[in-house]
Structure 1
């Protein structure tokens, strides 16, 4: 579970989101996502979207990780996230889930979903 959490957090980082080799290591070729807005993404569209992101004054805060094994080599990682600005103000609260699959000895993110939720206490 610690490795999956570390890789999930790595995907929250600006430098990761602009590094094609790292993205290809972390995201499965059949990656898909349903974002908080309901927008659907595939690998090509998420890479394009991340490439257009500016270095934000906000960071992703994530907490309350829980991991369930769905099958050998398949794990569901659930957690909460929020964006936090330089003053410590949080917004864009979400419940998130990611399905990670083990391929060639490497865990890769195959599916991700974010669902907007009520604000929660950051820990």
Structure 2
């Protein structure tokens, strides 16, 4: 589970999202997502979105990771997230799930979903 959490957290970082090699390493070519907004994305639309992102002083906080093995090479990663701005204000609370698949050489994110949720207490890291 540790590698999946590490890779999920990597995808929260602007620098990783801007790097083509990192995106290709982490995101499966047949990726799909149902975003917190309810909008659907595929690999090309998520890459386009990442490429047009602007740097931000806000950060993604994530916690309560749980990993469920669906198959030996397929893992479901569940967690909670929130956005924390530079003043410490918290918003964008969501429950998230990601399906990671092992491609034979590495784990890649194949599916992701975010669902808005009620505010929760942030655990300190």
- Coarse TM-score class (shorter-chain normalised): over 0.9
Q: Which runs of 4+ in 1 moved over 4 A?
A: none
Q: Could you say which residue in structure 1 is the equivalent of 2:95?
A: 95
Q: TM-score, normalised by structure 2?
A: 0.97
SS at match of 2:111: strand
Q: Could you say which residue in structure 2 is the equivalent of 1:46?
A: 46
* Cα root mean square deviation, aligned: 0.5
Give the C-alpha shift of residue 104 in structure 1. Answer: 2.2
Structure 2: how far apart are the matches of 1:105 and 1:5? 17
Q: Could you say which residue in structure 1 is the equivalent of 2:77?
A: 77
Structure 1 unaligned blocks of 5 or more: none
SS at match of 2:121: coil
Aligned length: 123
Q: TM-score, normalised by structure 1?
A: 0.99
SS at match of 1:97: strand
* Cα deviation code 1:74-116 (max 9, x no counterpart): 0000000000011111100000000000002200000000000
SS at match of 1:3: helix
Structure 2 unaligned blocks of 5 or more: none
SS at match of 2:16: helix
SS at match of 2:49: helix
Structure 2: how far apart are the matches of 1:15 and 1:69? 29
